[in-house]
Homo-oligomer: A and B are copies of this chain.
Amino acid sequence: MQLIGREVQLIRYPEGAVRPDDFRVAEVPVRGPGPGQVLVRNTWTSVDPALRLRLARQAPAGYFAAFPLAAAMDGIMTVGEVVESGAAGFAPGDSVWHASGWRDYAVVEAGKPALSGLGTLTRLDTSLAPVQCYLGPLGGMGLTAYAGLWHAASLRDEDVVWVSSAAGAVGSLAAQFAKIRGCRVIGSAGSDEKVAYLLGELGLDAAFNYKAGPVAELVRQAAPDGIDVYFDNVGGDHLGAALAVLRRWGRVALCGAVSQYDSAGPAAGPGDLFQATANDLTLRGFRGSSYLHLLGEMQREVAGWLREGKLRYREAITEGLPNAPMALVKLIAGHTTGKALVRIG
């Protein structure tokens, strides 16, 4: 009997805002695994802001490749269950992650690196946390927040920390990790509802809606004596505001620039790096996948925080694979609180 599976395909590179009809759902035959391969039935797949960068004829230099048209979209994190295995170390029933997401079934080659190593086929310990947590706090999101604070930003206990997009997948982890570390933490987000979530549910020390005024003024109100660390998920005016309020020897972890992902042409920079020179500031770009050696340590520590109730984690679940494009559109538009996931179902 021929197995048939659905997959989401990009059919046109969006100009300006992404629309759901830039994609289609195709039904394709699924072959069995060859030697060294496993067949996985995907159960949850990830929706990430950075996917936007690959919905273009040419992705930014140095980044992952653009998605091809009318083909399965490779390089999107997914968890699932092994159905059939031709590879040593994997057996039917195993929970795994890999990078062939946005489809029902995937044939994955064991040991073949994907997504800079982060998406290489890996067995998951579901006793630590529910399997979809590996697409959030126990996966690339957690690693990004962890590496960004501990390494890119060289976080110290006494730091005053500002996290932008603090209601987002990475931001909500970074903000809470810094709180657990004992820092004073300020979060920003794009709606009053998200601000209430930051203060009420995540317990941040201060939070603001960046649409309420000039960002630099809002940060200054929240941190009259300045900040030591800025965890940047936004870029543009947010980064410019951070440079203006960072104290001497301050640090910026450059995690991404979601404010720019939807625009054509060169992204707006922070405008002025003079403050970096004047105040001995360090801006450090980083990718979670550059810190794979910290993955196990991060997973043990973060799973502990989840079990102890120290870490709040909200999922924005979209039901059904065909709705994955809409989930991405909503995410880029800023209408998502917590980690965006699609239950393939």
Contacts and interface: CB of A to CB of B under 8 A. Distances in A.
A305 interface: no
A287 interface: yes
Contact of A254 (B60, B63, B257, B276): B276
Nearest to A50: B277
Interface in A258-277: 260, 266-277
B282 A285 contact: yes
Contacts of A61: 244, 275, 278
> What is the predominant secondary structure among interface residues of chain A facing chain B?
loop
B290 A286 contact: no
B244 A278 contact: no
17 contacts: A61-B275, A62-B278, A239-B273, A267-B271, A267-B272, A267-B273, A268-B272, A269-B270, A269-B271, A269-B272, A273-B283, A275-B285, A278-B285, A280-B286, A282-B282, A282-B283, A282-B284
A277 B256 contact: yes
Contacts of A281: 284-285
Contacts of A271: 266-269
A260 B274 contact: yes
Nearest to A244: B61
A255 interface: yes
Contacts of A257: 273-274, 277
Interface in A97-123: none
A285 B290 contact: no
A322 interface: no
A234 B60 CA distance: 25
A254 B267 contact: no
Residue from A244, A268, A282 having most chain B Cβ neighbours under 10 A: A282
A279 interface: yes
Residue from A248, A254, A266, A268 having most chain B Cβ neighbours under 10 A: A254
Contacts of A277: 254-257, 285-287
Interface string A52-78: 000000001111000000000000000
A137 interface: no
Interface string A283-323: 11111001000000000000000000000000000000000
Nearest to A272: B267
A168 interface: no
A80 interface: no
Nearest to A282: B284
A260 B273 CA distance: 11
A171 interface: no
Contacts of A142: none
A275 B239 contact: no
A249 to B, nearest CB: 8
